[in-house]
Structure formats: C-alpha cells, structure tokens
Amino acid sequence: MRFGFSETCLDHDPGSRHPESPDRLRAVKRGLQKRHGVTYEGAAPAEEADVTAVHDDGYVEEIREFCERGGGNWDPDTAASEATWPAALASAGLAMDAVRAALNGADGRDTPFSLGRPPGHHAVADDAMGFCFVNNAAVAAQHALDEHGLDRVAIFDWDVHHGNGTQDIFYDRGDVFYASIHEESLYPGTGAVEETGEGDGEGTTLNLPLPAGAGDADYTAAVDELVAPAIEAFDPELFLVSAGFDAHRHDPISRFHVSTEGYAMLADRVRAVSDATDAPLAFVLEGGYSLDTLAEGVGVVHETFDGREPVELDDDEDDVSTSVRSVLDELRDTHQAFGSK
C-alpha cells in the first residue's frame, strides 16, 4: 500500500499516560518494516481553509490559539500541546493526499492509507472531543467534493466507537453517505439505528450499533448484508474508510472480539465494494490503542492489498450471534431499501 506519513504527527503528545500516544504510529511503522511492498509518501499540511470547509471558523481559531498558548486539557479525554495544531493540520493533509492519490488512480498494491494522528472522527463542526481536533475524513471528503468536482462520497467507519463528528458534519446533506459499525453504548453514546440523516441527508446515514462481544462473523455479516448494499446503492465516486483497529479482541478500551484476520476480511470486503461501484478507495487511520494489535491490523490490511487472500471463517465460526442478528433485522426494517446480498 501507499502509506502517508509525517514526522509532524509524532509531535502531538497528550501525555505519557494517554492512550492516543505517538507510539501508535511508531508501532505501525515497526510492524510494516517486516512486510513487502510498503511505500511512504509525505504531504503538505492542510490549510486552515481546508479545515474551515467542515469546521466552524470560531472553533478553528479557538483551538489554534489554545495550542499556541501551550495547550492543556481541552476536555477530560482530549489534551493538547503547542505541537498539536501543526500535527492536526499534518494529519488532515495526509488524508487529503490519500484522496488525491486515489482519484489519480492509485489502487491495488498502491491503495493509499493515511497514517495520521491525532485521529479525527469524533471532532464535530464546532468542538474537539474523543482525542480528535480536526475531522480528517470529513476534510478529505469535502476536499474531494470541492476541488475534484465529485458529487457523491461514501465513508465507512469500522472503528469500535461511533464517529459522531463525521456523522454530524454531513447529517443533513445528500452528497456524503456515512456508515458506521460500532459498539452499542460505548463512547460517545451516539449512533443509534434511528439516526438516518435529516433533510437532504435523510437515508444517507447508516448506523449499526452492535452489542459487546461482537466478533468476526458479526462484523462481516453487517458488511455483507447492510453496509455493502447501502454503499453500492448510493453509487459513490469516492470511497473512504475510517479505519480504527480498536474493535480488536485485545484492544484495552473496547469489548468487541474482532481478530487480526477479521481485519483482512473487512479489507477484502471494502475492496469488493470499491470494485463494484468503480469508486477509488482510500483509508484514513482512526483509533486502535493496543500497540501490537494496531500494528498487526494495519499490517494485515496492507498484506490483503498486496495479494494475500484472507482466511475466511470456518462453518463452525460463521454463526452470527442472536443479539447481532436482531440488530441487523431491525436495520433492514428501518432502511427498507437495503436487502440482504
């Protein structure tokens, strides 16, 4: 894969005990050293105009000045330093560059994956939260719409937490489809089945809140039966994946049971959706707080695009849990246009 990386993203340091540490990117890069076909590309940081395309001007000014004064605790979870704002612009710039690469034909083994931090999917239009300051995926999607003349962008968020910021930014718009699989009742507590968009955006939000304990069979069924048909029906001109790796069974801040191989299966499925819609594909890093499993997850996604076939579930592992099946059935009723593949 073509990985976007900037040393500036390592400078954001929310504190030695904070789970969203610079060591996350260092671990990913160490893990990728063992794999064939990895390339890294730098990118120019986002301009403030790119950020204010999806965030309120007043918020952008406030968070920039907060960092310039030395930072501190923005909220109980979200800490900043003087280096945070340049890192946030660098992270958003990497996401934008991944979009440009995808739209310019980078695919297959060259599929772009933005390794930026701080992550972004919790950042709403007028606030930072959940370790996030600038919504990288939203900035990248808006860049595609504004600068590349696209009409429709789809974002699939497989992070264990609901991407409330991405949803909110595009909730009343019909040009961005947002789908999220996440752990029910986990931070930030949003992403209910009934949240489907409003106004011009009615029907362009698909939330799949799954109960604690959901694993590979549950995730893949959710994609096969609902996410993939919905995105294919939307027929996007660009497909972004907000790729968090904190649904892993060994991640310290979630209760999902996705395996490393499960991420290979997810990567294979999003590639199939990209192929079915002829939509260029790009990945944007979100969460993942076990250094080992984060590195393994990014690594297995890379290997999937480098030609490795995912090991699909055995028959005795392929059963969707009763609780997840009830959620999928409810979603099918809520979004009546989406049927089982």
Q: What string of H, E and C letters represents the secondary structure of the chain?
A: CEEECCHHHHCCCCCCCCCCCCHHHHHHHHHHCCCCCCEEECCCCCCHHHHCCCCCHHHHHHHHHHHHCCCEECCCCCEECCCHHHHHHHHHHHHHHHHHHHHCCCCHHHCEEECCCCCCCCCECCECECCECCCHHHHHHHHHHHHCCCCCEEEEECCCCCCHHHHHHHCCCCCEEEEEEEECCCCCCCCCCCCCCCHHHCCCEEEEEECCCCEHHHHHHHHHHHHHHHHHHHCCCEEEEEECCCCECCCCCCCCEECHHHHHHHHHHHHHHHHHHCCCEEEEECCCCCHHHHHHHHHHHHHHHCCCCCCCCCHHHCCCCHHHHHHHHHHHHHCCCCCCC
Give the pLDDT score at 312.
83
Residue % of the chain over a pLDDT of 90 = 93
187: phi then psi, degrees, rounded to nearest 5: -45, 135
Q: Is 122 a catalytic residue?
A: yes
Q: Which residue among 122, 143, 162, 182 is the active-site one?
A: 122
Position 308 confidence tier, pLDDT thresholds 50, 70, 90: very high
Residue 141 predicted with pLDDT over 70: yes
Residue % of the chain over a pLDDT of 70 = 97
Give the pLDDT score at 337.
55
Q: Is the dihedral of CA 185, 169, 238, 240 positive or negative?
A: negative
Give the pLDDT score at 332.
85
Residue 207 predicted with pLDDT over 90: yes
Q: 163-199: per-residue pLDDT in tens?
A: 999 999 999 999 999 999 999 999 999 999 999 999 9
pTM: 0.97
Give the pLDDT score at 338.
54
Instruction: Decide yes or no: CATH 3.40.800.20 for domain 2-334.
Output: yes
Q: 213-236: per-residue pLDDT in tens?
A: 999 999 999 999 999 999 999 999
- Would you list the domain boundaries of the chain? 2-334
Cβ-based neighbours of 296, under 8 Å, separated by 6 or more: 31, 260
Of the candidates 212, 208, 232, the one whose C-alpha atom is nearest the C-alpha of residue 220 is: 208
